[in-house]
Amino acid sequence: MLELREIANVLSGISVREAAYGAARFIRLSDLSDIRADKSPALAIGETPAVARALTIEEGDLIVGARGVTTDVCVATEAVFGAFISLDLYLVRPNRAYVNPQYLAAFLDLPTTQATLSGGKQGTGLARLAKEALEKTEVPLPSMEQQGLIAGLAQSFEREARLLKQLAELNTILGREAITRAIRAADTGRNFSRSAQ
C-alpha cells in the first residue's frame, strides 16, 4: 500500500469570482451529483484565477468533495475538462504509471474508505475533509491489469445503478399516468351516466 500523495497530486480548490462574461469555468460541490448521474453540470463562469496552484481539470483527474456527510468522488468527464475546481473540492491527479483513475475512484468510494475519510473531517456543521487526511489515505495497488479489471467491474455496477434509477423514474411516471387516466375514465363514465338520466 502507498499513501495517496505518493501516487497522485492532490490540489485544493480555489475561490470563485463569478463574472457574467468571465473566461473561466468552475465546478462546485453541487455539480458532483450531475457528474455522478452522467449529466453535464451547469458550471459557474468567472474570472480566470491568478494563483499558481490553479490547474484546469484534465482527462483522468478525480474530483473529490471536501465537505458533506459522505465524501463524493468522481472521475472527471469531458463536460468539465478545462474547468477549475472551487474551494469545497479537491483535484486529484493520479500518476498513471502507478494507478488507474477509475480504480482509484472505486477504492475511494468504498464504505471502508469513506469511513476513514469521515474520520479525517474537521469542524462542526458541514465538516471539511482536511487535505492532509486525504493525502495520507492508504491505497492498495494491485497490478495495472488487475486495477483495470476492478475499474471495469465498478463502472458496470455504476451503469447498472444509473439504469435502475432511470427505470424507477420512468415507472413512477407511468404509474401516475395510468392513475390519471383511470380517474379521468371513471369521472367521464360518471358524467355520462348522469346525462343519460
Residue type, 189: G
CA atoms within a 13 Å half-sphere pointing along the CA-CB vector of 174: 6
Which residue numbers in the chain have pLDDT < 70? 124, 189-197
User: Per residue in 50-78, is it b (16+ CB within 10 Å) or e — as a string?
Assistant: eeeebebbeebbbbbbbbbeebbbbbbbe
CA atoms within a 13 Å half-sphere pointing along the CA-CB vector of 168: 6
Predicted TM-score (pTM) of this structure: 0.79
So what's the pLDDT on residue 126? 76
Q: How far is CA 91 from its chain centroid?
A: 12
So what's the pLDDT on residue 6? 96
